Amino acid sequence: MELIIATHNQHKATEIQRLLPNWISVKTLDEIECFEDIPETENTLEGNARLKSTYISKKYHVNCFADDSGLEIDALGGEPGVYSARYAGENGDAHNNMDLVLEKMQGITNRQAKFRTVISLIIDGVETQFQGTIEGEITQEKSGTEGFGYDPIFKPLGSEATFSEMSLAEKNKISHRSQAVEKMIGFLRGLEK
């Protein structure tokens, strides 16, 4: 089975490809020569994931999936949430986004947060959504060199390491994205029978 993943982010594509069984092959937008950025104009993760998958499905007539992920911080009223990728501005700079979070969190003792991913899968024109969530906390400073996005400032509950201090294999055992992908794989396995 071949699926298109609606992303230009090679880190995300690699992370997801490692989670998938070998009977599912994935191509990125770049590989199908779709170079446009699909605007994320919805105000929910569910809406943005649907927006991207629907766009690719209708334009290219392919089975595809898209995800939208957000970091939701309790003390900031759920921010940055759906605006996670562009929290510090439209250019989507991860370091500026993390700096803004750390600045807003100065002096705050409640550092509880969660990462949430929503996947919108479209098979033969029909959409199904899957969600994954991991609870954790915002660290006082950036730590680690692996991963991407907010990984250097997010420490999952029960872990001494940030996502960025974990190997991809360690992160994939517990991450919000891996939970959503596992649910999608289970659904696709059911279609194969």
- In which band, very low, low, confident or very high, does the pLDDT at 91 lie, cut at 50, 70 and 90? confident
Residue 162 lies in domain: 2-192
- In which band, very low, low, confident or very high, does the pLDDT at 10 lie, cut at 50, 70 and 90? confident
- In which band, very low, low, confident or very high, does the pLDDT at 130 lie, cut at 50, 70 and 90? very high
Of 92 and 46, the structure prediction assigns the larger pLDDT to 46
**Total domains present in the chain:** 1
DSSP string, the chain: -EEEE----HHHHHHHHHHS-TT-EEEETGGGT--SPPP---SSHHHHHHHHHHHHHHHH---EEEEEEEEEEGGGTT-BGGGGGGTT-TT--HHHHHHHHHHHTTT----EEEEEEEEEEEETTEEEEEEEEEEEEE-SS---SSSSTTGGGEEETT-SS-GGGS-HHHHHHH-HHHHHHHHHHHHHHHHH-
Is 80 exceeded by the pLDDT of residue 193? no
- In which band, very low, low, confident or very high, does the pLDDT at 127 lie, cut at 50, 70 and 90? very high
What pLDDT shows up at residue 114? 98
Which residue from 181, 182, 147, 184 is spatially nearest to 162, judged by alpha carbons? 147
Give CA–CA dist 13/20, Å, rounded: 11
| CATH (domain of 67) | 3.90.950.10
Give CA–CA dist 102/139, Å, rounded: 8
What pLDDT shows up at residue 11? 80
Is 90 exceeded by the pLDDT of residue 76? yes
Give CA–CA dist 12/131, Å, rounded: 16
- In which band, very low, low, confident or very high, does the pLDDT at 14 lie, cut at 50, 70 and 90? confident
Contact 65, 27 (CB under 8 A): no
What pLDDT shows up at residue 39? 83
Beta-strand relationship, 64-73 and 2-5: parallel
- In which band, very low, low, confident or very high, does the pLDDT at 52 lie, cut at 50, 70 and 90? very high
Determine whether 37 is an active site residue: no
Choose the catalytic residue: 30, 68, 74, 99: 68
Tell me phi and psi for residue 109, to 5 degrees. Answer: -85, -30
